[in-house]
Structure 1
Amino acid sequence: MRDFEKATRVLDALKAAEDQPAQLALPILNGLVGLVQGSGEQPLEVEEARSGAFMAICEVGKALHRGQPADQLWSAAIGATERWMSLTK
């Protein structure tokens, strides 16, 4: 699967999970790990964007797991994923 397809799937999953309660959103986020792991085969700028999306998604997951507010974190994760996606077109 190409990076653009991975990023698209991740973005769709994030948008679907954003309005879900933590107990439903966390399994969705956990399922994204394989899609956002790097292969090192892309240009550095793409790998950095992918890494940024991965870290932002992890921050959402940590906040949800701890019962903390995640509204701003969702926006950051979606934005980072959109950036990753834009670089893979």
Structure 2
Amino acid sequence: MSIASTVRDRVLSSSPEAAAQGAFEVVSALQDLHPARQVLALAAALKVTAEVLDIDPRELLSVVGRMEADARFNNQDYFSAVALYVEGEIKKKYP
């Protein structure tokens, strides 16, 4: 089994909570950068990581979109909490 299929399998079996927690950790690590650099860094990291692991980044975004929709349907605020954190960090620096 290749690393790409192993990673893909784990992505597909991960929980929305795990995805949101990971997102929070990544965003938190970038919080000292200008918001434009944060966005570029996140996009570059997704692109490079997906290419190295031979995974379509659009597939990853689709999986996260479904996770977010499922969480919202189940009244779980995992992604909302991340969004509020991102919004607060950017607005705090650039009102």
TM-score (norm 2): 0.41
